[in-house]
């Protein structure tokens, strides 16, 4: 049995940031003709095509597989709405905004008229103005009205605070209320602020449980702004959906109407959502809020042209001492090293560049290597490059944000913490180190570049990974296709029940709440009553305990673990509990702003890891083992020798060891055991089974079945983000020649979150397209025996052994030959006990 459990990375967003409305993308103090993007280019007037040409020339071999030209677009201004007060127009004019774009005015008017609205347009299209205009107009017209702004992160709320405060509107009194707010200021905010900016975590943990102290603010709540709502996906999004329903229960005056009312009527608050371009934003926003939402999706803001290159790092020279028949001795150059070199090259040319890196450790590595290369070329130039990621202390993050805004930094290597970023106007180029998991994220990250409407350069650097390799050789899968819809499931019982418990603490549940919280609520309430958590009374359901339920919105696996320097007691940063087994085990190498530390000990009970500074010539890579059992089947397809299933599974995983690898060569030095507790997860999986006879007929020998299934599993995990809104680190897998529950050769792919996150359901419904892309990615890879570009996995718990690339193609050929082109919607068969086993063993 082989398995590939999740790494430390989870679905929840990192410490994301958001652009300030200083870049409203509205018409500025200039002649309308001047709003046309300049044909000038990247940094100091250089064209992006010229810069790309110089970058390509330095590599020796051309690594660019495709160049996409995204044309410039002129904007469509619109007049200010009649209801916008002169005072507010003047405030925007002082900030350089003379008139809105048409989509801004349309969304703002819908919201002002009392319609729930989502504005889903491109990066830097001015979504901030679309919600600020109606909210601030109402605050100026009604001295008692209040507004609540929600961002995925504290940093984003802080950035929006700067923008609202800069308008200098009397009586608005904007303020941030989050974990960084000093306690001395919190009472003043509750009593006096009329525009409170916070995040779902503080709403869940602080504001709603203390709603009695917030009663005045909540009674007068007129607008709820939900910024970057596309980030609320998976388990995190499902939790936030119920936090918003809890907010709706407690906001507005007693006896408030259940539907939206005009702002002046003091009815239920109007919800205004902002999203990056996404598939079906109205449905997603409606699922998030539980309300009917109108979508504004036509982007009428001006946009500079973008030159977008797909970049595949070159193969490293074959080791002269290696067996020439051994195909695995030749591998591609690391995407991290390639990105670091590109970052150094662009910074050396004076091009302001942001490099997006998928992991915290990767961001540190890219920044450190770029600094080193720059200092070798021009001592001191490396100081213009830094890393940015979650886990830094608040003071460090704020200083990096300030340095970026003021131009002290010329290059930054960041996790997706800057995908939504602070105001990044002025950036010339974006490097994307590895496909970020969704097309929506690709365009969100690429959109960070573009100086005042000028030309920009974006480069996607492929990792040695099946999906990245597929995309750089199939650009049609990336360009010219709609972005994904956001996946969330408020009916997830692992989310719904604890959220109902939180709601019952705040106010007894009533029959009306059964409708408010949606499908499955009555069943969840009955279960809570049976478990003794709720007591049924004629007036509703009451919480029975003194303490509140502990509910983690982001599903990160527990409280953060503090990273402390043992010799000084200095707090370096934090790591979420779900990542600690992988990143902070004893002996792990931990990077912080270019400084390397080695972990001495990890105390999970106290939530503390002690480290000492050290710069070893090796890196560490945790390895885990996984077992899986089928709990139930929701739906299945009987396709003769092939079965396709969707259902609940129990997954048990444990980090058991770690490898030390030479940084320079990747050579494995040794493998050291670890003694960490196992973790259990009940989640949703999709799996397919094959009859042994069909494999034999296809030419897969019995001894090769484990390697064939294992290779197919790796590639399937890598290609699932092509059809589902996830990335490979959000999902896990397991394959086995004979599974105890299916009694047949089986490949499982499962969601890495309790109760599931919607990815397995998407995989089931698109199984034919998903597995066909998987088969093509393996077959078209140029290696002979399998490599990281097709069937090897960076997170394999079995060290990528066994693997059989040609047999994986044969396995998938059997599956595709038998599965129907259209998979019926998930269903439960009529019989009470649907089979978990292969239907034709």
Residue 22: name the closest of 162, 119, 171, 174 by CA. Answer: 162
Q: How confident is the model at residue 322 (pLDDT cuts 50, 70, 90)?
A: very low
Which residues, in sequence order, are CB contacts of 772 under 8 Å at separation 6+? 816
Q: What is the DSSP string of 350-417?
A: T--EEEEESSHHHHHHHHHHHHHHHHHHSTTGGGGEEEE-TTS-HHHHHHHHHHHHHTS-SEEEE-GG
Residue 239: name the closest of 494, 14, 527 by CA. Answer: 494
Count of alpha carbons within 13 angstroms of residue 229, beta-carbon side: 36
Residue pLDDT, tens place only, 351-363: 989 999 988 788 8
Q: Which of 236-245, 448-457, 568-577, 793-802 has the lowest mean pLDDT?
A: 793-802
Q: How confident is the model at residue 468 (pLDDT cuts 50, 70, 90)?
A: confident
CA distance linking residue 203 with residue 176, whole number of Å: 12
Residue pLDDT, tens place only, 240-291: 999 999 999 999 776 544 433 334 344 689 999 998 777 789 999 999 999 9
Residue 433: name the closest of 463, 389, 411 by CA. Answer: 463
| First-last CA distance in the chain | 19
Whether the pLDDT of residue 833 is over 60: the answer is no
Give bridge partners of residue 734 from the DSSP assignment: 3, 748
Residue 11: name the closest of 336, 437, 372 by CA. Answer: 437
Residue pLDDT, tens place only, 789-799: 788 776 676 76
CA torsion 574-579-583-587 (nearest 10°) is 100
In angstroms, the Cα distances linking 742 to 690, 710, 752, 817, 827 are: 10, 16, 21, 21, 19
CA torsion 263-241-559-648 (nearest 10°) is 180
- For residue 737, give the DSSP letter: S
Q: How confident is the model at residue 22 (pLDDT cuts 50, 70, 90)?
A: very low
CA distance linking residue 599 with residue 579, whole number of Å: 14
Residue 297 three-state SS: coil
Is the separation of the CB atoms in 132 and 27 below 8 Å? no
Is the separation of the CB atoms in 33 and 607 below 8 Å? no
What pLDDT is stored for residue 427 in this prediction?
Answer: 78
Which residues, in sequence order, are CB contacts of 700 under 8 Å at separation 6+? 708, 807, 810, 811
Residue with tokens 């698109």: 766
CA distance linking residue 841 with residue 370, whole number of Å: 56
Cis bond before residue 322 (omega within 30° of 0): no
Is the separation of the CB atoms in 236 and 13 below 8 Å? yes
Residue pLDDT, tens place only, 632-681: 999 999 999 999 999 999 999 899 999 998 876 667 899 999 999 998 88
Return the higher-pLDDT residue of 238 and 21. 238
Is the separation of the CB atoms in 42 and 48 below 8 Å? yes
Is the separation of the CB atoms in 107 and 285 below 8 Å? no
Give bridge partners of residue 332 from the DSSP assignment: 315
What pLDDT is stored for residue 437 in this prediction?
Answer: 74
Residue pLDDT, tens place only, 48-83: 778 898 888 887 788 999 999 988 888 899 999 999
What pLDDT is stored for residue 834 in this prediction?
Answer: 56
Q: How confident is the model at residue 30 (pLDDT cuts 50, 70, 90)?
A: very low
Sequence length of the chain is: 841
Is the separation of the CB atoms in 17 and 417 below 8 Å? yes
> In this prediction, what percent of the chain has a pLDDT beyond 90?
52
Return the higher-pLDDT residue of 90 and 789. 90
Is the separation of the CB atoms in 716 and 749 below 8 Å? yes
CA distance linking residue 713 with residue 719, whole number of Å: 10
Show the tokens assigned to 810.
Answer: 């044969």
Q: What is the DSSP string of 516-558?
A: HT-TTHHHHHHHHHHTTSEEEETTEEEE--SSPP---TT--SS
Average pLDDT (417-443) is 76
CA distance linking residue 161 with residue 167, whole number of Å: 10
Show the tokens assigned to 593.
Answer: 């702003």
Determine the Cα angle at 319 with ends 780 and 321, to 5°: 130
Arithmetic mean of pLDDT over the chain? 84
Residue pLDDT, tens place only, 92-103: 999 889 999 999
Q: How confident is the model at residue 417 (pLDDT cuts 50, 70, 90)?
A: low
Whether the pLDDT of residue 438 is over 70: the answer is yes
CA distance linking residue 144 with residue 131, whole number of Å: 19
Which residues, in sequence order, are CB contacts of 781 under 8 Å at separation 6+? 466, 469, 787, 789, 790, 805
In angstroms, the Cα distances linking 342 to 294, 300, 592, 664 are: 42, 33, 22, 19
Residue pLDDT, tens place only, 512-537: 999 999 989 999 999 999 999 999 99
What pLDDT is stored for residue 799 in this prediction?
Answer: 62
pTM: 0.75
What pLDDT is stored for residue 12 in this prediction?
Answer: 27
Q: How confident is the model at residue 828 (pLDDT cuts 50, 70, 90)?
A: very low
């Amino acid at each position: 049995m082989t398995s590939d459990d999740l790494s430390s990375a989870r679905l929840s967003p990192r410490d994301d940031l958001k652009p300030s409305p200083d870049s409203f993308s509205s018409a500025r103090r200039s002649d309308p003709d001047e709003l046309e993007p300049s044909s000038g280019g990247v940094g100091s007037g250089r064209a992006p095509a010229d810069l790309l040409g110089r970058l390509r020339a330095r590599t020796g071999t051309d690594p660019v597989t495709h160049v996409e030209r995204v044309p410039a677009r002129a904007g469509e201004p619109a007049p200010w709405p009649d209801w916008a007060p002169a005072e507010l127009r003047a405030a925007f004019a002082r900030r350089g905004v003379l008139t809105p774009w048409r989509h801004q005015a349309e969304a703002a008017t819908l919201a002002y008229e009392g319609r729930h609205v989502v504005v889903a347009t491109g990066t830097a299209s001015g979504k901030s103005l679309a919600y600020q205009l109606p909210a601030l107009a109402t605050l100026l017209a009604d001295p008692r009205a209040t507004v609540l702004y929600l961002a995925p992160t504290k940093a984003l709320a802080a950035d929006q605070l700067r923008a609202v405060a800069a308008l200098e509107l009397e009586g608005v009194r904007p303020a941030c209320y989050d974990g960084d707010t000093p306690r001395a200021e919190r009472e003043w905010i509750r009593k006096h602020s009329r525009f409170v900016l916070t995040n779902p975590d503080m709403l869940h943990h602080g504001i709603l449980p203390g709603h009695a102290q917030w009663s005045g603010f909540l009674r007068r709540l007129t607008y709820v702004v939900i910024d970057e709502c596309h980030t609320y996906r998976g388990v995190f999004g499902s939790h936030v959906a119920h936090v918003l329903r809890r907010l709706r229960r407690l906001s507005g005056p007693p006896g408030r109407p259940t539907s939206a009312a005009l702002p002046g009527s003091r009815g239920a608050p109007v919800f205004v959502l902002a999203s990056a371009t996404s598939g079906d934003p109205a449905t997603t926003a409606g699922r998030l809020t539980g309300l009917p939402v109108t979508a504004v999706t036509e982007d009428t803001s001006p946009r500079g042209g973008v030159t977008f290159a797909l970049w595949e790092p070159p193969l490293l020279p074959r080791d002269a001492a290696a067996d020439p028949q051994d195909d695995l001795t030749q591998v591609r150059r690391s995407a991290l090293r390639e990105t670091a070199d590109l970052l150094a090259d662009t910074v050396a040319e004076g091009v302001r560049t942001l490099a997006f890196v998928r992991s915290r450790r990767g961001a540190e590595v890219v920044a450190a290597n770029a600094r080193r290369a720059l200092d070798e070329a021009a001592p001191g130039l490396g100081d213009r490059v830094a890393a940015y990621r979650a886990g830094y202390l608040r003071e460090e993050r704020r200083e990096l944000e300030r340095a970026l805004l003021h131009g002290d930094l010329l290059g930054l290597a960041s996790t997706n913490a800057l995908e939504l970023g602070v105001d990044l106007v002025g950036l010339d180029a974006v490097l994307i180190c590895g496909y970020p998991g969704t097309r929506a994220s690709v365009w969100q990250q690429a959109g960070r570049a573009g100086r005042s409407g000028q030309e920009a350069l974006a480069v996607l650097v492929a990792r040695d990974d099946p999906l990245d390799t597929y995309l750089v050789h199939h650009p049609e899968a990336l360009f010219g296709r709609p972005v994904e819809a956001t996946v969330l499931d408020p009916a997830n019982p692992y989310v719904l029940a604890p959220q109902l418990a939180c709601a019952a603490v705040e106010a007894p549940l009533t029959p009306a709440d059964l409708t408010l919280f949606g499908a499955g609520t009555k069943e969840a309430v009955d279960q809570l009553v049976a478990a003794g958590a709720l007591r049924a009374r004629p007036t509703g359901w009451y919480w029975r305990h003194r303490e509140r339920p502990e509910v983690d919105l982001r599903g990160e696996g527990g409280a953060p673990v503090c990273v402390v320097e043992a010799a000084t007691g200095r707090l370096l940063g934090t790591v979420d509990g779900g990542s600690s087994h992988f990143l902070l085990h004893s002996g792990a190498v931990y990077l912080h702003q270019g400084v390397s530390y080695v972990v001495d000990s990890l105390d999970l009970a106290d939530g503390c890891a002690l480290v000492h500074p050290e710069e070893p010539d090796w890196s560490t890579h945790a390895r885990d083992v996984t077992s899986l059992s089928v709990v139930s089947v929701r739906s299945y397809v009987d396709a003769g020798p092939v079965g396709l299933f969707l259902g609940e599974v129990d997954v048990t995983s444990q980090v058991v060891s770690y490898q030390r690898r030479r940084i320079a060569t990747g050579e494995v030095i040794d493998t050291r055991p670890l003694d960490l507790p196992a973790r259990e997860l009940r989640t949703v999986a999709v799996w397919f089974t094959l009859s042994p006879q069909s494999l034999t007929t296809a030419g897969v020998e019995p001894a090769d079945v484990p390697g064939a299934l294992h290779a197919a599993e790796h590639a399937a995990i890598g290609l699932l983000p092509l059809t589902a809104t996830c990335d490979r680190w959000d999902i896990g897998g397991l394959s086995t020649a004979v599974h105890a529950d299916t009694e047949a050769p089986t490949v499982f792919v499962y969601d890495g979150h309790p109760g599931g996150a919607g990815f397995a359901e998407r995989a089931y419904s698109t199984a034919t397209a998903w597995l066909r892309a998987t088969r093509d990615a393996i077959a078209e890879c140029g290696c002979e025996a399998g490599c990281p570009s097709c069937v090897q996995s960076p997170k394999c718990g079995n060290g990528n052994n066994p693997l059989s690339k040609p047999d994986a193609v044969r396995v998938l050929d059997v599956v595709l030959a038998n599965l129907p082109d259209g998979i019926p919607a998930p269903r439960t068969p009529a019989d009470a006990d649907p089979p978990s086993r292969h239907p034709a063993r």
